[in-house]
């Protein structure tokens, strides 16, 4: 419109009176040094700065009114003019900053990077870290930029998880803190937002759950009720029979089995470990051949068994337990039967940190086998089938629907 003013004073009242027209137009600030306001046909009002840099006409968007106030735009305008005096193109710098913001690492991307570049390379339990982060952290802040995550939102998240699962909240706190420390090491972050956030559930009490004889009997007999794959049911039995870690069962390969021995080439304490296989253990492995892969006996993740027990335990009729409780049960039963602590430690593959361990290179294979056979006989007795060495008896024990 010809009657429209070319310059106005930038006041809220003056800007609000600007009406949209059929085409976009701009009005300069009176004495504003290139500062203008642009009005779109839909009524959107945007502050822009028009200037020349190295002889070329340039334009820089400073923000939309009223989200950006007149005072705010005055500060941005002054900063831009200051950069020009220093020989810096403010429009180019703003564009680079916007690009960096768009490309900035998200929490979801950081989780993937942490698992790939740190956890998998340094932790045998990396899959547990991945599960914890994907279960609780990503749904809450996965799309947030790493640099924008605040201590407050993490504290709220940890508290929310603690209300549902106190121990899980502590695990989430620990692995999240570790991941952000990794981000600092990788120069993706300057400070850890987990700093000064205490573990949400305080100090955890040690859990000492072990299954009594009747519970073992019920578990063994009622496993067929579990709504899981046959391999998971067999893995639960195999852990009770051998007392080995669930993570090591998950990585058990067919090539690691030779006659009546299972050799674990790499374990939690970084040592190879030989496990004697009793007749009962071998029977379970024979069953597993019908369901497992060509490479692994129990092709499961180290948390699969834990989840299966948690979701199906009500079908057995005993108190909740974890795979580690099965390992504790086996160890406790062996100790009660008279197995020496040193032999028990060898069976469980506990690392001996004493000076004597450096010189004691005895394999203890004979003692381990004696102890495992002792436990096998007791387990058979608990199940109501005294061990006779007769395969028919073992088939009766294993006669459940998989």
Supply the range of the domain harboring residue 354. 213-397
Q: Say if residue 249 is in the same domain as residue 111.
A: no
Q: Say if residue 363 is in the same domain as residue 250.
A: yes
Q: Which residues contact 394 (CB under 8 A, 6 or more apart)?
A: 279, 280, 283, 385
Q: Say if residue 265 is in the same domain as residue 326.
A: yes
Q: What is the pLDDT along the chain (402 residues), one digit of tens a residue?
A: 455 667 899 999 999 999 999 999 999 998 888 999 999 999 999 999 999 998 889 988 898 999 999 999 999 999 999 999 999 999 888 877 666 555 568 999 899 989 988 888 887 778 888 989 999 999 999 999 888 999 999 999 999 999 888 888 999 999 999 999 988 887 778 889 998 898 887 665 556 789 999 999 999 999 999 999 999 999 999 999 999 998 899 889 999 999 899 999 876 666 789 999 999 999 999 999 999 877 999 998 878 898 899 888 888 888 889 999 999 999 999 999 999 999 999 999 987 655 444 444 577 999 999 999 999 999 999 999 765 544 444 454 444 445
206 in helix, strand or coil? coil
- What does the pLDDT look like over 127-181, one tens digit per residue? 888 989 999 999 999 999 888 999 999 999 999 999 888 888 999 999 999 999 9
Here the tokens at position 28 are 């300069």
Q: Which of residues 169, 185, 201 is at a domain's end?
A: 185
Q: Say if residue 127 is in the same domain as residue 50.
A: no
Separation CA 57–CA 73 (nearest Å): 20
Q: Say if residue 42 is in the same domain as residue 118.
A: no
Buried-exposed string 205-238: b where 16+ CB fall within 10 A, e elsewhere: eeeeebbeeebbbebbeebeebebebbbbbbbbb
Phi, psi of 290 (to 5 degrees): -75, -20
Q: Say if residue 315 is in the same domain as residue 243.
A: yes
Does 1 fall in a domain? no
Q: Say if residue 26 is in the same domain as residue 129.
A: no
40 in helix, strand or coil? coil
Q: Say if residue 281 is in the same domain as residue 319.
A: yes
Helices (H) and strands (E) in the chain, counts: 19, 8
Does 363 fall in a domain? yes
Q: Say if residue 231 is in the same domain as residue 343.
A: yes
Q: Say how many domains are in the chain.
A: 3
User: What CATH number corresponds to the domain at position 229?
Assistant: 1.10.443.10
User: What CATH number corresponds to the domain at position 71?
Assistant: 3.30.160.390
């Amino acid at each position: 419109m010809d009657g429209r003013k070319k310059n106005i004073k930038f006041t809220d009242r003056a800007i609000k009176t600007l009406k949209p027209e059929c085409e976009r137009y701009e009005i300069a600030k009176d004495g504003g040094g290139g500062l203008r306001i642009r009005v779109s046909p839909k009524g959107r009002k945007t502050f822009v700065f028009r200037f020349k840099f190295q002889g070329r006409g340039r334009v820089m968007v400073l923000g939309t009114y009223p989200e950006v106030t007149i005072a705010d735009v005055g500060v941005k305008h002054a900063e831009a003019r200051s950069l020009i005096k220093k020989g810096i193109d403010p429009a180019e710098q703003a564009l680079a900053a916007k690009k960096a913001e768009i490309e900035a690492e998200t929490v979801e991307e950081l989780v993937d990077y942490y698992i790939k570049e740190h956890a998998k390379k340094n932790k045998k339990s990396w899959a547990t870290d991945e599960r914890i982060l994907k279960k609780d952290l990503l749904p809450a802040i996965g799309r947030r930029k790493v640099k924008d995550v605040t201590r407050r939102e993490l504290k709220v998240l940890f508290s929310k998880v603690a209300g549902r699962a106190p121990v899980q909240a502590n695990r989430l706190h620990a692995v999240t803190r570790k991941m952000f420390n990794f981000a600092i090491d990788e120069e993706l972050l300057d400070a850890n937002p987990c700093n000064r956030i205490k573990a949400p559930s305080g100090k955890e009490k040690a859990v000492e759950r072990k299954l009594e004889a009747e519970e073992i009997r019920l578990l063994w007999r009622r496993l067929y009720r579990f709504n899981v794959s046959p391999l998971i049911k067999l893995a639960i039995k195999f852990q009770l029979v051998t007392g080995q870690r669930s993570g090591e069962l998950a990585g058990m390969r067919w090539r690691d089995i030779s006659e009546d021995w299972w050799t674990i080439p790499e374990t939690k304490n970084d040592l190879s470990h030989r496990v004697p296989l009793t007749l009962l253990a071998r029977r379970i492995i024979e069953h597993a051949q019908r369901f497992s892969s060509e490479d692994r006996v129990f092709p499961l993740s180290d948390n699969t068994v834990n989840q299966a027990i948690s979701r199906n335990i009500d079908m057995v009729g005993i108190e909740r337990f974890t795979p580690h409780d099965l390992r504790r049960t086996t160890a406790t039963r062996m100790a009660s039967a008279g197995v020496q602590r040193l032999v028990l430690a060898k069976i469980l593959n506990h690392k001996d940190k004493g000076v004597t361990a450096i010189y004691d290179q005895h394999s203890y294979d004979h003692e381990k086998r004696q102890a495992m056979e002792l436990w096998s006989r007791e387990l058979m007795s608990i199940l109501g089938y005294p061990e006779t060495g007769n395969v028919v008896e073992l088939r009766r024990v294993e006669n459940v629907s998989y």
